[in-house]
Every structure is written in structure tokens, then in C-alpha cells.
Amino acid sequence: MTSLVDLPPPIIVNIASNLPDKGLFSLAILNQKMRELIRTTATTTPPICVTSPEEKENIRKLIQTYPNLTDVNISHSRYLTDDIIEFLVEKCPKISKLKLWNCLTLTDAALHSISRLTDLKWICLGDNQNFSNDGVTEVLKGCEQLETLDITLCTNVTSALAASIAEHGKMLKELIAEFCPAFATNDALTTIAGGQCRQLEKLIMGNGTASDEGIEALFISPLKDTLTILDFRRNAEIQQSGYDKIRLFPNIQEIDGVPVSSLPEEDTGAYFINKRAMYGDG
């Protein structure tokens, strides 16, 4: 009977490409032939977590073994350091999706390395107070294909970053910046609205300081026609008139997490003000 390892390489590659991450990496332990096939086939890792100094060497080995990775998740890694990110960028230059949520030991030096990933389209940098405008700007400048930027809980990022987004975010479709009070301001909204990011579809700025003035800046800009999702929960300065204005965006599909199809056709603003009064989330 023919075993899996005896199948022609194209068939094995086809099987491997349809396996979940854990199954794919399990195949690599069968023999040398399989290890080499998986080494060149693997594009996605299971979630990796560097929780001790000893695991730093293991992550280096994994990175070096799988040079064609395009989707990497190293979130919640207490011992992930800037030099490992530099090594990742050097060995896996095809990365298009990178999640670094809650990697508290990383600094802007890691973002400078990431800026060399020219295929990068999606990045999550959330929950890291070391990242600043400088590092995120380098990512925006270097990663010209970037479509999704998540800087949630990056509390050192300020509204000045909006100038970099406006200039370099030409391909940006999603901007997620919850719990960034120094960034989620009217000034940032006005700058972004007047910039080059004309493809923006999803904008999330919960727990900021935006008001109706910022909503108006979006409404009179080209973004009025591209935005489909707007979320300003816990922005206490947005009033009933601001929500009524959001309802007038021609392609809006979701406001503060609520599908537009579920909202009343009139008095949208009153709905959200009442919701804020009841639940405190705007």
C-alpha cells in the first residue's frame, strides 16, 4: 500500500496546503523528504509565544527553517526582542500578515526592521506602550502595500501620526486605533480626511476625544464615499447630530458595531445617545 511519503511531491504539496497549521507542521516529523517539502510549503505558523529566555533560540530555529512564511502570529511574547524581529524580517521577507499584540519588550527598533517587509499588507501592533509615532511612521513609509493597521492601546502614539497616515497610507483600507486617546482626536480625523488614504473603508477610534467636528471633516472629504464601518464608541463628545451625520454616509454599513440595517431609519443619533446613557459605550 502506498504511504503518504511515497506520493509524488506535487500531490503532497497540495495535501499540505489544505491542512490546518498544526497538521502541516506534524507532517514535518515523518522523514527528511517530508521535512524539506514542508519547509518550502509552509506559509503560516501556529501562534508562537516566546514566554521564556530559552524559547528565543527555538523561535530563531523555526524562523530559519521556514523561509516562505507569509502569516506570522507572535502575540503575547514577553521575551520577544527587537533582534528576533530583525532576524524574522531577514529570513522571511515574504511576510504579508504580522500580529504582534501585547509584545511589551519590543521597541521602535523592531518597527524599523518591519518597514523592510515590502509585501506587508496587515499588521497588528496593539497593546504596546513602547511604540511611538516614529516607529509606526517607518512602517507606513516602507510598507507601501499596507491595507490594515491596528495600533489599539498604543498609548504613546499621538495625533501627529495622522500626518504620516495621510501621506503614506495610500493603500490603507482599515485603521484601528481603540484606546488611543492622544491619537483619536479631531485633529487626526481632519488630517486623515485631507490626505491620500482614499481607500479607507473601516475606521475604529473608540475611547478617543473626537467630536462632531471630526465627523464633519470626514463627511466633507472623499472618505465619505469609501467608509463602510465607523466606530466611535466611548467618544463622549460625539452628539446626536454627529451620529445623524454618520448615518448619511452613502455606503455606511455599520456604526459602533451595529449593522445599519438594524438601526431606525430616523433618529439614529437618538438611538446611540440613549445607548450611551444606558451602557456607557456610545
Q: Is the pLDDT of residue 2 over 50?
A: no
Over range 91-112, report the average pLDDT: 96
For the chain, counts of helices (H) and of strands (E): 12, 9
Q: Is the pLDDT of residue 11 over 60?
A: no
* The pLDDT value given to residue 208: 93
Using CA of residue 212, residue 217, residue 220, residue 225, what is the dihedral sign? negative
Q: How confident is the model at residue 63 (pLDDT cuts 50, 70, 90)?
A: confident
More confident position, 90 or 51: 90
Closest CA to 244 of 275, 206, 223, 272: 272
Closest CA to 149 of 184, 182, 181, 124: 124
> pTM value?
0.86
CA 208 to chain centre: 18
C-alpha cell at 262: 438594524
Backbone Cα Rg of the chain: 22
Q: How confident is the model at residue 143 (pLDDT cuts 50, 70, 90)?
A: very high
**Which of 8-22, 73-87, 177-191 is predicted with the least confidence, judged by mean pLDDT?**
8-22
Over range 93-110, report the average pLDDT: 96
